[in-house]
Chains A and B, each alone.
Chain A
Amino acid sequence: MGKRKLVVIGNGMAGARAVEEVLARGGADMFDITMFGDERYGNYNRILLSNVLNGSQDPAEIVMNPLDWYAENGITLHSGAPVTDIDRAAKTVRSSAGVHVHYDYLLIATGSRAFIPPVEGMTGPDGKLRNGVFAFRTLDDCDGIIAHAKKSTQAAVIGGGLLGLEAARGLINHGCAVHVIHIGNHLMEQQLDGPAGAMLRASMEAMGVTVHLKKATTAVTHDGEKITGLAFKDGTTLDCDMVVVSAGIRPNAEIGLRAGLTVERAIVVDDKMRSVDDSTVYVVGECAQHRGRVYGLVAPLWDQAKVFAENITGRNRDAAYHGSKLATKLKVMGVEVAAMGITEPVEERDEVVQFTEPKRGTYKKLIVRDGRLVGGILMGDISKAAYLMQAFDRDTPLPEERLSLLFDIGAPAEKVTLDEMPDEAQVCNCNGVTKGAIGACVAGGMKSALAVMKATRGGMGCGSCKGLINELVEFYAGGEVEEDPSIHYYVPGVPLPTDELIDAIKINGLKSVSSVFKVLAGGKEDPGSKPGLAVLLSMIWKSEYEDERDAKFINDRMHGNIQKDGTFSVIPEMPGGVCTPDELKRIADVAVKYNVPLVKLTGGQRIDLVGVPRDDLPGVWRDLGMPAGHAWGKSYRTCKSCIGTDYCRFGLGDSMALATKIENRFRGIDSPGKLKLATAGCPRNCSEAYVKDIGAVAIGDGKWEIYIGGAAGAHIRKGDLLCVVGSHDEALSVMGRFIQYYRETAKWKERTYAYVERVGMAKLKSIVVDDSDGIGARLDRSLQESIDAYVDPWLERDAPATSHQFSSLIPVP
């Protein structure tokens, strides 16, 4: 089959980025790509327009994809002529220049345009902006403003939001007096509260910008040729000879409307960034409306472009966009600002932590809800921004000591701070580049900040993190600390994190551990990585998995736990710690018959026959006549239970029955780490369900609390409450979904207590309980397939998997 035709309408940051993401996934071999752009240029970084305006950067410097780039990548670019029509029935688009192109897939990335308020005199008789009135959105706008500013004496900027202030800042450099006209009560209401806005205003006025608040512009006055001033609702006027309008943006969604797509504030898309009306039409960027939200910042766009590319290239058809939490770091008039979430407390329980030092222009305010950050403003000193933005984005619990949220008390040298910064800390928020990614780049041989920025795209968004990236590159390249990138991998021997490894295994159809090493690790077998790969492959392929026994740790070849003398322990299944008298007798008979040296109760409420030589294993298993208890591997292990409702006078729920159902369902399911479970019939927690990988605690009325991430081994941790369910079946269902998500996303040997902290409960709840990613049904199905593929390994007593599997010593004649 030939290549499919991908047509992209829009050649701005969204369109070009989306195409880059497609190319990065081998899209050049899958698609003929045609792009249409309204502007005459290749793609440039619109965020940096303010630098062009203030003269600190040339237009050429902000170009991200020069015209050569399109040619090099085989992309047909039609620039300077917007698409005017989409014919969805014929699957064609037509541009104003008459170009007519067929598509198989269409991407709409038309972005947004400046909003021009309907003010008298703003536009001329031709409906275009009057001479001397400018929007601030494109390179052409920028050129016009610069040319006009040179002969201007007094300029007015309508709009005191971020862009308006940047325009004002740029205009100052061109020598005219600058006034900012703002309709609101304080500057930058989207990001700042009143006090911060007031401090910003003071900084701006110190630089010579006059700020007018609560002013609604009613007319642009002119003499027919030139602008003469502005008139306001309160009757006052202002003389000026040029006007820059920065009163917000409006999505360019009309093209969608004309094509018959659902358009509300923008073109409505699903979680795959497809139009809800047409599965061959994708929409990303500012012209897309996702779950009721339209974004005007760049960070959400990067995520959307990725989701689009994953889906359209088939790399991951489950990829979904869930919306973005907005946090921004910016520099206004030389004042550094970081802002995230809400700007004022909303609920009674919201706690405000605040520090103000007006003399130095420092302002810090955080809004904390239930121990989590829901809003924050940092101004002047934004040294804590990286940490706080991460806490905000991931919804991680904050330290009890709120002071440390605002200040690094007694923090010594900067090096220490870099050192202590976690690898997953986001350095570049625009492009989602972590400290770890920068480290990996340097470790991979890139020693210059520029090379690292090119490779990771870090610093290529708003550029505010370039300084930090420079420091980090220096830190990695020059310092003694060298990061081992393998900490991000599923197993150290294959350089891919879990999700990418799963994708690579599926794409390449790798069904055995040896083939994974051959294809994904350059043929180098790492013995320590083999068991982890075996578990992952069996999870992915189920009964199709090619079981190479040498990939497994000896416990998983012998189906028992190896002891210090090379013998094994035999633990039969015993759901909830319950067995029949008959089974108990059989266990005793076996212990006698085979001279088992030790019979021991385990911590998991089972009976352990310890010290069985491998030669006796088949006979022991046969004589026991009980299924394997899986007490040896990285898998579902056991489910403890208290006595529940049958006899206990406190019992609220039937914990023994639930434990039995759990064991019967999840027996032998392998996973990145051990899974030890427990059910408790009441919150007295006799079975210690609070400190299990998964625990269920009855709370009455048939309800069960489900806890995950508990531990009481070398590491002790109380589990986090995942949800409350109303029946045994629901408990099994939510546990199963969590187990499957853990199987698919944890690193090898990452126990749930570490995993839960790394991934975060908010995310786990939304995926497992709310099914926010829409992958719940798939997870359930995949786990069910693993359950269906389960075979009791002790049946190998009659059919050994390998030659001399159970021989401790082979005689030679």
Chain B
Amino acid sequence: MMISGRTLGQGATSEAKMSTEFFRATSFCALSELDYNALGVSEGGNVLVRTKFGEVVVSAKKDKGLPSGVIFIPMGPWANALVGPETGGCGTPQFKGVEAEVEETKMVVLDVRELFADLKAGAETS
């Protein structure tokens, strides 16, 4: 179950989103100690998180405050790669409580520009 939310680091960099600080502050996934160890992620390693809406590679962190089965990704483009567009008739997507699969990966975390690179490129021809 993936939830997203605000953090101090995310907030302090939210108006400097092209910075490496923002990248560091929001492109990670926090896991409970139990889940982290079970995945066999190496120190500083990455995970691939997949939901029915999309997938994204983020770095992995332990967080003692998280119960097993819940992962946390700070509010931002990495988390939102995993969130679905439907708003249930109220205008607001469900940003928290998305069923997700997590696996250890050797793939690298895309930076902000890389995350969006394909989007506008695709639109240029239209």
Q: Note whether A and B form a binding pair.
A: no
